[in-house]
Amino acid sequence: MQPRSAGRAPGPAIPSSALAGAIDLGAVKARADAAARAADAPPPAAGSYVIDVTEDTFQAEVLDRSFQVPVLIDLWAEWCQPCKALSPVLERLANAGGGSWILAKVDVDANPRIQQALQVQSIPTIFAVIGGQLVPGFAGAIPEAQVREFIAAVLEAAERAGLSGPGEGAVVPEGYLQDEIEDPEPEPEPPGDPRLAIAEQYIEDGEFALAAAAYEAILAVEPNHADAGLALKQVHLLDRLSVLPEDAVEVADAAPDDIAAQLAAADLLLAGGEIAAALARLINAVRRTSGDERAEIRARLVEYFDLLGPEDPSVPQARRDLANALF
């Protein structure tokens, strides 16, 4: 599937000290406390699936509520024309969803600290919050079909995270995982990280920039998240491969001193399973270069080593060859 335009990805994940300590997505205790408050709180009342959120109510209406059902945050302003196109679509879908998710509308002019905490540069911008975890969404007024796809991915991630889902009488609109919700005895699934599920959906849709933004948001909160770190490298490779010409190897062979061509050829060889050839090409390029060019090639080789893993038989020898080429 070809990548489709879905607007620019929003900024990094919400900082742990945002809103003067009122929002702390990285603190385990804060999440536990929020989950406890959500368990004691009544479910959303019928017809209250679109709510206006302020800095004072963000904790209760967004973070705490996200332990019951996923919450989508719509950052908007009265003067924003694209907001006037997107917000009615979101409101209609939220009401049609019957409580399967909540739309939290944030007027950025009246609530600048929320915009600053989320590091939003333009509006409209949409985030999802699932179980206290912020999930990057999209920016700009995108077509309704793409909005529905994003909401479906959020609902699926929420289901995997063990959220209770829509209350009794909820009406799930077409495209909202209708088959899974109608299943009277769904097969239990092991809980997973909903943030990864969203990123994986972006990859399936060919939206590599959005997938990269999702993984980068996870790493901003958890720098040592092994799955997100490796997946980000995979997405970067997929993104590069999506624009490579089929004759990249031939082009590189004809221009041995063209570093960009050598990197492109190595990507194509690696993707085609010619691992030894890809590694050898870059190691030979290291021998012929110095300075910034050598550093760039070495960085690509290290990326390959991470992608292949230490168990790949090509990696140990390639590491030794790289060391010899460098020193």
Reading the chain (327 residues) residue by residue, the pLDDT tens digits are 222 223 333 333 333 333 333 333 333 334 445 555 555 555 554 457 999 999 999 998 998 888 889 999 999 999 999 999 999 999 999 999 888 999 999 999 999 999 988 888 889 999 999 888 888 888 888 889 989 999 998 998 888 877 755 444 344 444 444 443 344 444 444 456 778 888 888 888 888 888 888 888 888 888 888 788 888 999 999 999 988 988 999 999 999 999 999 999 999 999 888 999 999 999 999 999 989 999 999 999 999 998 888 888 888 898 999 898 887
Q: Is 37 marked active-site?
A: no
The domain 248-326: what is its CATH number?
1.25.40
Structural domain boundaries of the chain?
A: 19-191, 248-326
Token pair recorded at residue 226? 């092994």
Closest CA to 66 of 114, 23, 17, 108: 23
Q: Tokens 């907001």 appear where?
A: 83
Set 83, 264, 283, 325: catalytic member: 83
Set 80, 120, 198, 265: catalytic member: 80
112 vs 18, 54, 82, 229, CA distance in Å? 12, 10, 19, 32
Q: Is 166 marked active-site?
A: no
Residue 210 and residue 239 in contact, taking contact as beta carbons nearer than 8 Å: no
**Identical fold between 19-191 and 248-326:** no
The neighbour count for residue 171, using CB atoms within 10 Å, is: 12
Instruction: Say yes or no: domain 19-191 is CATH 3.40.30.10.
Output: yes
Rg (C-alpha) for the chain, rounded Å, is 23
